[in-house]
Copies of this chain bind each other. A is one copy, B any other.
Amino acid sequence: MKLLSIGTVAFDALETPFGKRDRIVGGSCTYIALSASYFLNKSGIVSVVGDDFPNEMIQKLESRNIDLEGLQIKEGEKTFFWSGRYHNDMNTRDTLDTQLNVLENFDPIIPESYKNSEYVMLGNLVPAIQNQVLDRLGNKVKFTMLDTMNLWMDVAMDDLKQVIAKVDLLTINDEEARQLSGEYSLRKAAKVIMKMGPKFLIIKKGEHGALLFGEEGIFYAPALPLEDVFDPTGAGDTFAGGFIGYLASTDDTSFENMKRAVIVGSAMASFCVEKFGSERIEDLSLEEINERVAEFRKLTDFELNLALA
């Protein structure tokens, strides 16, 4: 398996200024796997759901060449549930309800056929489980990418720092970068965080784009200005899925190639927010993705040979 992703598969109840949904499939792993699926012939996921999880979604994931051997379905148990309401600015939200259900005793079992995975995406999840997955994987792993959130900085910082020390790339948002580093300047924050372990850091800034930091320098990918952000849920996971999917498909972890991967991830995320949940990224055409990437190209492209003398 080229790519293995772990994370949550969930039911979400969402409310945005544009409407609400009571129970749609969400979760970090869902978005990551769907987004990566456009770049890979096959990828595996490690996650868990209850027996209330809809067969229709299982089929949809399989139809996108996502291998579900690693998706545990627990009889008599219920799928993880999250409910949230976005504020008018769409950048902040309140969590209304969290029911861990099957996640409470999640044991991330890695199928034999996944153990030779070269690219690993640790989607947002309890850091202790992310750690466990890394311990259980063989030494075929070439590249590990980690996503996390402020909640784990508040309640499980020691575990989180352990995972951070082991991965190649960490992706978090600007506020989380400030919290993790204790630095307000993102450039200073990046220096502090990269000393914790990862060689690369991506700071996501929502409607303001994303910054990639590495030893080789800094790359700034803008976000496409959209008429409306319909529902931001899963945008970060979709970004991560597009990024790691492109990286794995090209099998090139150079800084130059990561710049391309950031653009691909940004393009995928720009689709995600156009509809509720994962709806928009379930059936994209390749033409649509090519066109969106071309829009990003146009958005920042300029020719300037300033040579003042």
Contacts and interface: CB of A to CB of B under 8 A. Distances in A.
Interface of A: 38-39, 88-89, 184-188, 205, 208-209, 211, 217-222, 225-229, 256, 259-260, 263-264, 286, 289-290, 293, 297-304, 306-309
Contacts of A228: 185, 188
A88 B178 CA distance: 13
B211 A208 contact: no
A260 B302 contact: yes
B185 A226 contact: yes
Given A208-B205, A208-B209, A225 B219 contact: no
Nearest to A288: B308
A222 B218 CA distance: 12
Given A222-B222, A264-B304, A297-B304, 16 more contacts: A38-B308, A88-B184, A89-B184, A187-B225, A187-B227, A209-B220, A209-B222, A218-B225, A219-B300, A222-B300, A256-B302, A259-B304, A260-B302, A264-B306, A293-B306, A300-B300
Contact of A226 (B187, B289, B299): B187
A220 B222 contact: yes
Contacts of A304: 259-260, 263-264, 293, 297
Given A185-B226, A187-B227, A226-B187, A286 B309 contact: yes
Given A208-B208, A220-B225, A225-B220, A302 B259 contact: yes
